[in-house]
Amino acid sequence: NAGVTQTPKFQVLKTGQSMTLQCAQDMNHNSMYWYRQDPGMGLRLIYYSASEGTTDKGEVPNGYNVSRLNKREFSLRLESAAPSQTSVYFCASSEVLAGGFEQFFGPGTRLTVL
């Protein structure tokens, strides 16, 4: 049981390049999320997917697109990277609890845009 996995772990891009961050979970969770964490700050929600086939914008969606490929996989795409997108990106999935839920986070992808 690997939990939430992300690839790659590190990436350096030049301004204007594109890339896709991959996320997969093996816990059979319906909901999945993408966050970014800037230095010294908390996490901010980029996009989320409440179930397979649905996606919605979070707090900071500009410059990103997502695809919920199936129940396990949720990818984040940067079409034209900008230095402001330098950050650590975390994927998460959530388990429903009685009265709430619990989110489980992947190890993160450290992205630098030059």
Binding residues with another protein: total (CB under 8 A): 28
Comparison of 14 and 41: residue with beta carbon closer to another protein: 41
Task: In whole angstroms, give the CA distance from residue 95 to residue 83.
Answer: 34
Q: How far apart are the first and last CA of the chain?
A: 36
| Least distance from another protein to the Cβ atom of residue 37, Å | 9
Nearer to another protein, 74 or 90 (CB): 90
63 binds another protein (CB under 8 A): no
108 binds another protein, rule: CB under 8 A? yes
Transcribe 60-71 into DSSP letters. Answer: --TTEEEEE-SS
For the beta carbon of residue 19, count every other beta carbon within 10 angstroms: 15
Q: What is the distance between the alpha carbons of residues 8 and 75, in angstroms, rounded to a whole number?
A: 12
Tokens coding 108:
């993160």
Could you give the string, one character per residue 74-103, with x where binding to another protein holds by CB under 8 A and - elsewhere?
----------------x---x-xxxxxxxx
**Residues forming the site for another protein (CB under 8 A):** 31, 33, 40-45, 48, 50, 56, 58-59, 90, 94, 96-108
